[in-house]
Structure 1
Amino acid sequence: MVHVVYGDGKGTLVLSQALEAVPGVPEADDQYGFSLAVYDADLDGCSDLVVGDPYEDIGAVPDSGVVHVIYGSVSGLNAGGTAAKEFYQGSGARLGGGPETDDWVGYAVAAGKTSSGTPFLLIGVPGESIADVEDAGGFHYLSGTAMTTAFVHQDTDVAGAVAGTAERDDRFGSSLAATPTHFGVGTPGEALGTVPFAGGVGFFSHALTSGSPKPLGGIGQDQDAVSGDEQVGDQFGAAVAMVPYRASGATSTAESLLVVGTPGQDLKTTVDAGSVQVFKLAVNGTFTETAAIDQNLDGVDGEAEAGDFFGKQLAAVNSSPNATSTATTTRLAIGVPGEESSEEHPEKGGVLIVPLVGAPGASDRWIDPGYGIGSLPAPRMLAGLSLAASPSLLYVGSPYGPAEARAVYGFPWNVASGGAPTQVIKPGEGGIPETGVAFGATVR
């Protein structure tokens, strides 16, 4: 189920497959709303909602997955007369290929407009088999208001080779992020040499060649230009985020900052502490690492501990994309779901907020359950698994733990450590139905 909260107190809306206007029917374990994106798909000036349902059964094929685009209007979502569109793999479907068990269409989605104003939608299919290579993964790229589609995987033959090759358990398409000039695709299961599940990220331009986006390159910890060492189970690329970037003196915002989470990274003997790296992407596809962040870095709040999984989730913002990027305008939230501040509250979780430009520890902030994120810390709340960015607020979902703590909290990006949210959205308040199992597990 998806709860839509309109701005300026204009009410709420509940979307699910129980509605006649939404394709399909509710089924056990669908997890409708597992992924979300917002963009103007038809260029009518109203936001449209993308809903991923990766565990939807297509016919008798379990967990093949589906994505819905639900159209907005001046009267609200799903209220303007344009029927929702359904995207799945199968006979007569809008996406190429056929449905297969555990394809997970819609496990990740990302959407927006290119620098030329063309709407685009990315749909991850991390469980897709490429030929006889199981779980190699791929993604669908939908371009323009006509939503012309192209399917891309690591063996796709396009101008400028896609980084890597299709291998078992790569899970290419598990994570997606985009700006108007670039987009990134996470491959957390990528093997680097003999190191399994080390991970990698491919990045692309929105420029189309024969309908497919142009590959620009790939990033992995086996490259000299990338800090850190590839390790078993690092899962480099398990989370990605991107924002537009404009250097001082530049006349346009043509570059991007790509943020990559590596939640399984071991820091010396500290297993699964996790780390995050930031890369600047040039228009021509060259990249430069600008920051490597972990909780052992000078000035950064906290201390790296085993099982923190620092970087498991990310959210980033550039609140002034048409001006020079600064530490104030470009901010990054890093989810640390395994964090625990005491033996009483194991895996309580937390969120670290850092600048994307300049030293990460220069203006970092920390919030966690009982310290900004509600008032009730408890074991295994896993705070930091649900994050979203708007230009003005960082949204933190708190779907687990005590029922009274389950909510979505909106924090100013400059919130002080432990500071209070300026918005709280929770079941039973503001027109939202009182029932809220896992409320806020995904936020957009």
Structure 2
Amino acid sequence: MIGRITKQPSSSKARWLAALLCAVAVSIAAFGSGSAPPATAGPDVSGGGLTDAGNQLWHQDSTGILDAAEELDSFGQALASGDFNGDGVEDLAVGVLSEDVGGAENAGAVNVIYGSGGGLTEIDNQFWHQDSPGILGTPEETDLFGHALASGDFNGDGFDDLAVGVSNESIGDTAGAGAVSVIYGSDDGLTEAGNQLWHQDSTGIVGAVEPVDRFGRALTSADFNGDGFDDLAVGVFGEDIGSISAAGAVNVIYGSDGGLTQAGNQLWSQASTGILGAAEEGDRFGEALTSGDFDGDGFADLAVGVSLEDIDGNSAAGAVNVIYGSDGGLTAAGSQFWHQNSPGIADTIEEGDLFGWELASGNFNGDEFADLAVGAPREDIDGVEDAGAVNVIYGSSAGLTDVGNQLWSQASTGILGAAEPVDLFGWRVASGDFDGDGFADLAVNVVGEDIDGAENAGAVNVIYGSGGGLTEAGDQIWHQDSPGILDAAEEGDQFGSALTSGDFDGGGVADLAVGVSGEDIGGATNAGAVNVLYGSAPAPTATPTPTATSTAPAPVSPTNTPPPDKELGDVNSDGQVNAIDAALILQFSAGLIGSVPNPASADVNSDGEMNAVDAALILQFSAGLIGSLPP
């Protein structure tokens, strides 16, 4: 991108023009005439998006971070962001599900790292587990405290609270029943005051504890009844429905001014009245959860992954149930059941695809409806087994619809990387507006990606949103061998084993936290770490000194080939908007030529002048850094 340019005195005109033409030449060489730039792991920050600038690597041996890195801790296996201290900057919770607490092996813990204007910082960081003073429950061997995390303001006090899945918690003598610990936020951050421990033997909660229910293995929070308090959905994928083993269920616990409460709580499964599909052995309904307002009615809706669902005789093809919110909470009215054999959905079901293994919601096209990304990590791509894919289903006033749905993989046109066996693209997904353009973007983990010979080092593809939805333009692939990224790709690192987005520096643009649960720290194998990549908005274009005038053009359509009656930017009338047109404007602005072939098209920003600002806009548009020229 060309920065601020002003007209130079005639004595320096030649030197100025040479610099300008060099910039144009670079643009042509890098981008081609009228084509988008090649995506790289470190993008042109002027266009916005994730960047290596200021990236961080956090682990339990980081300076000031509580506890110490130990073998097999798996720091970074789960992540969540929220503003726990109400300072306007989001904070990061990191699950350490195999942390030893006291003498209890793999009891689990959570580190909390707080955000600031300079990004995440060790100041006031916290370390939570069931042996923390005041926290309910007792650390026991293989409890897996921190196996899942979700944040939400459950009591409406303006501070986000943290729900922590303890998926292997024993309830009484019932092993593996599972529980959820809730720690509330305050102006001092998370505090033990009023903390709760929820399970299916909690007073008033629907359902009953059973061995290996895994209550708390998946979590999501949202306001399903529109009362201003966030509610908590809890996956119980091992729940038996009647005599049907591990069919799965979801408990929903509603928020109030006193926090989460049993009042009005619900238990959903495929045996619930009005819910599509049928409870079958081993379906694991509730293995993945996400929430979003898919129909734009002001009530959050719930998407439930059923990754082992059999579809048309194909075992473990996978499916997703969607249950819609209302002023009475979640309701079966209008519920949906999506899979790859649903009418209009891209691709077809295959055995073992695991459609619904992972879910994320985000408004990828900037309308008023949330959209749904569905991981199918064992999708075969062009004969490549288990390469993985992500289906994206867009929201509408009627809820999720097949219209415009997409299938993304590393074989998709323009997407970086290559589909390889057992890459598992879609193992984890997360959304956030990483370039601040008002469209949510999608981060996709490729947990099995090999990097420079390091097997299963892992990578993350980032696909950016636009007015037309997700697009390959400007996509990125990140890993620990990306230029500028801290640490190095190693075998079994599993970069991307968890993902979450949050504005950790208060800059107004989402940042991405990437779990690397297999990272070795010092001599501690698989101690785990988290890489944090910061987002950036497009750099502003400065206003230069006016230099020449032209007539104002007609509006333009957002394409590099303008229609015949709308030639904005096509200065040489060759049917393309590219760097050649910018060069003509620059030469005219410098006084080296007396006119341009099509002056009516040259005043791109309609300010009555034909100058370097117009040239810069054309260069940005030609490079794909902006989606359209000003009307």
TM-score by length of 1: 0.88
Does residue 306 of the first structure (1) align with residue 366 of the second (2)? no
Matches for 1:44-193 after TM superposition, within 5 Å: 44-79=87-122, 81=123, 83-90=124-131, 92-114=132-154, 117-145=158-186, 147=191, 148=193, 149-157=195-203, 161-180=204-223, 181-193=230-242
Q: Distance in 2 between matches of 1:278 and 1:363?
A: 18
Deviation at 1:387, TM superposition (A): 0.5
1:44-443 map, 5 Å: 44-79=87-122, 81=123, 83-90=124-131, 92-114=132-154, 117-145=158-186, 147=191, 148=193, 149-157=195-203, 161-180=204-223, 181-207=230-256, 212=261, 214-244=263-293, 247=296, 253=298, 255-288=299-332, 289-318=334-363, 329-343=369-383, 345-357=384-396, 358=399, 360-371=401-412, 373-391=415-433, 392-404=440-452, 406-413=458-465, 419-436=472-489, 437-443=493-499
Distance 2:294 2:375 in 1: 22
Alpha-carbon contact 1:150-1:212 (below 8 Å) kept: no
* Structure showing greater Rg: 2
Deviation string for 1:250-306 (max 9, x for gaps)? xxx3x2110000001011311111100111122323413432110001110011111
The 1:271/1:50 distance shift into structure 2, 3 A limit, reads: same
The amino acid across from 1:98 in the alignment is T
Residues 82-107 of structure 1, C-alpha deviation per residue, up to 9 Å, x if partnerless?
Answer: x21111012x5452111111110010
1-structure distance, mates of 2:134, 2:495: 31
Bigger RCO (CA 8 Å, 6+ sep)? 2
Indicate the larger mover: 46-55 or 404-413: 404-413
Secondary structure of the residue aligned to 1:440 is strand
1:442/1:14 Cα in 2 relative to 1: closer, same or farther (>3 Å)?
A: same
After superposition, give the CA deviation of every residue in 1:325-344 in whole Å (9 maximum; x if it has no partner): 96x6311100001110244x
Where structure 2 has 5 or more consecutive residues not aligned to the other structure, the ranges are 1-48, 224-229, 434-439, 501-631
Deviation of 1:375 after TM superposition, in Å, equals 2.9
Matched position secondary structure for 2:495: coil
Pair 183,246 (structure 1): closer, same or farther in 2 beyond 3 Å: farther
**Matching residue's letter, 1:152:** W
The alignment covers a number of residue pairs equal to 422
Query: Is the 2:221–2:233 Cα contact (8 Å) retained in structure 1?
Result: yes
The 1:246–1:386 alpha-carbon spacing in structure 2 relative to 1, beyond 3 Å, is closer
Distance 2:393 2:92 in 1: 29
Amino acid at match of 1:433: L
RMSD: 2.5
2:144 aligned partner, one-letter code: W
Whole-angstrom distance in 1 between the partners of 2:103 and 2:474: 45
Q: Which moved more, 1:57-66 or 1:307-316?
A: 57-66
Per the alignment, in what secondary structure is the counterpart of residue 110 of structure 1?
Answer: strand
Q: 1:413, CA displacement in angstroms?
A: 3.8
SS at match of 2:161: strand
- 8 Å Cα contact 2:275/2:335 also seen in 1: no
TM-score (norm 2): 0.63
Letter in 2 for 1:123: V
CA–CA distance in structure 1, aligned partners of residues 50 and 388 of structure 2: 29
Instruction: Report the CA distance shift for 1:60/1:423 in structure 2 as closer, same or farther (over 3 A).
Output: same
Aligned in 2, Cα 1:286/1:243: closer, same or farther, shift over 3 Å?
A: closer
Q: Distance in 1 between matches of 2:259 and 2:117?
A: 36
Alpha-carbon spacing, 1:339–1:89, altered in 2? closer, same or farther (3 Å): same
Once the two structures are TM-superposed, the CA of residue 416 in structure 1 deviates from its matched residue by: 7.1
Q: Distance in 1 between matches of 2:51 and 2:105?
A: 41
Residues 21-49 of structure 1: CA distance to partner in whole angstroms, max 9, x if unpaired? Answer: 11221112111000111111111122111
Deviation (angstroms), 1:196? 0.6
1:203 is displaced (CA, Å) by: 1.1
- Separation in structure 2 between the aligned mates of residue 417 and residue 12 of structure 1, nearest angstrom: 25
Distance 2:400 2:112 in 1: 39
CA distance in 2: counterparts of 1:367 and 1:245, whole angstroms? 20
Contact 2:359 2:373 survives alignment (8 Å): yes
The 1-side partners of 2:258 and 2:117 are apart by: 36
Preserved contact between residue 276 and residue 335 of structure 2 (Cα < 8 Å): no
| CA-CA distance at 1:66 after TM superposition | 0.2
Amino acid at match of 2:212: D
Identify, as 1 or 2, the structure richer in helix: 2
Q: CA deviation at 1:359?
A: 5.2
Identity %: 27
